[in-house]
Amino acid sequence: MKVLNFGSMNVDYVYQVDHILIPGETLASKERNVFCGGKGLNQSIALAKAGIPVYHAGLVGEGGDALLDVCRENGVNTEFVKRVEGPCGHTMIQVDKNGQNSILLFGGSNRCITKDFVDEVLKNFDKGDMLLLQNEINELPYIIDSAYEKGMMIILNPSPYDNALEECDLTKVSLFLVNEIEGEQITGEKKPEKILEKIKEKYPKASVVLTLGSEGSIYQDETGIYRQEIYKVKAVDTTAAGDTFTGYFISSIIDGKPIQEGLALAAKASAIAVSRPGAVSSIPLKNEVENA
């Protein structure tokens, strides 16, 4: 089985601020750092660091050389990463003194995916292969339909949630990884139990991981419900904590680990990510997670 992650690659401009800006406010930042990120790239790196061979597919624009370098340094296969003209995807991230963030996204090259490129990539994958997606690239409905037709197993982290997802046939998804906000956006429900109930009603064949910030996470499939608490750490920067959780949880499924063990591994990995600055740079290696 091959693992393909078709996703975004961003240059993250991270500004350290006393508090997240309010409308109309001008505030001097204390520090600026530039990191490799993007939900797609972060999740590929998390998978690779967890020991899973992964192909990343995506588009890198001008100024994105470091994104390709970081894939190679971490063993992510870049055969399906293409360079394109025009600006690379990037973000402006404010991180406050409590490690909380606020992210402004510019899609750039991530929004230049064409159906031809999707076909070119997917022809290298087959029935039983795994496809991981987030919502920072265009052509998601086409990618989902094409992968489903091939018999690939589709995993979706619908983040950030927007109207584009309403164009997707989400009944083709086997596993959702959502936080409570995305859970509410998909189901219209606020309470975790209700979100899970509604997801089961709408997508009876899908499993789901619902992450609840400081309240931990819940996994649901046809066999039942599993809960996991967080590992408490001092938050330095929460960027990519969710992506780290996603990559590590999926790695545990691929490795055939019991669900409870996978949730614990993912929770531990994301706690380590929260205790470090940046996106890709904050994602721990498997042995660090196992020995923590």
Among 74, 185, 239, 251, binds ligand RIB (CB under 6 A): 239
Candidates 64-72, 183-191, 236-244, 249-257; binding stretch for ligand RIB (CB under 6 A): 236-244
Which one, 37 or 192, has the nearer CB to ligand RIB? 37
Candidates 17-25, 36-44, 201-209, 210-218; binding stretch for ligand RIB (CB under 6 A): 36-44
Element (H, E) at 138: none
259-264-268 Cα angle (round to 5): 150
Q: x/- site string to ligand RIB, residues 118 to 147, per CB under 6 A?
A: ------------------x-----------
Q: How many residues does the chain have?
A: 292
Residue 224 tokens read as: 């039942």
Taking CA atoms, 153 is separated from 125, 145, 245, 250, in Å, by 11, 12, 19, 12
Residue 132 tokens read as: 């991981």
Among 12, 182, 184, 237, binds ligand RIB (CB under 6 A): 12
Candidates 5-13, 119-127, 193-201, 255-263; binding stretch for ligand RIB (CB under 6 A): 5-13
Q: Give the N- to C-terminal CA distance of the chain in Å, as an integer.
A: 30
Among 39, 56, 172, 268, binds ligand RIB (CB under 6 A): 39
* 237 near ligand RIB, rule: CB under 6 A: no
Could you please report the per-residue DSSP string of 165-183?
GGGS-GGG-SEEEEEHHHH
User: How many residues belong to the site for ligand RIB (CB under 6 A)?
Assistant: 16
* 108 near ligand RIB, rule: CB under 6 A: no
* 92 near ligand RIB, rule: CB under 6 A: no
As a 3-state breakdown, the chain gives helix, strand, coil percent values, each rounded to 5, of: 40, 25, 35
The CB-of-116 to ligand RIB minimum distance in angstroms stands at: 25
Candidates 35-43, 68-76, 113-121, 145-153; binding stretch for ligand RIB (CB under 6 A): 35-43
Candidates 194-202, 214-222, 235-243, 283-291; binding stretch for ligand RIB (CB under 6 A): 235-243
The CB-of-126 to ligand RIB minimum distance in angstroms stands at: 29
Taking CA atoms, 3 is separated from 64, 127, 129, 152, 174, in Å, by 23, 12, 6, 10, 14
Which one, 146 or 282, has the nearer CB to ligand RIB? 282
* 42 near ligand RIB, rule: CB under 6 A: yes
Which one, 43 or 251, has the nearer CB to ligand RIB? 43
CA distance 214 to 212: 6
Comparing C-alpha atoms, which of 117, 126, 146, 136 is closest to residue 57?
117
CB 49 within 8 A of CB 284: yes
CA distance 89 to 215: 32
Give residues in contact with ligand RIB (CB under 6 A). Answer: 8, 10, 12, 37-39, 42, 91, 103, 105, 136, 239-240, 242-243, 279
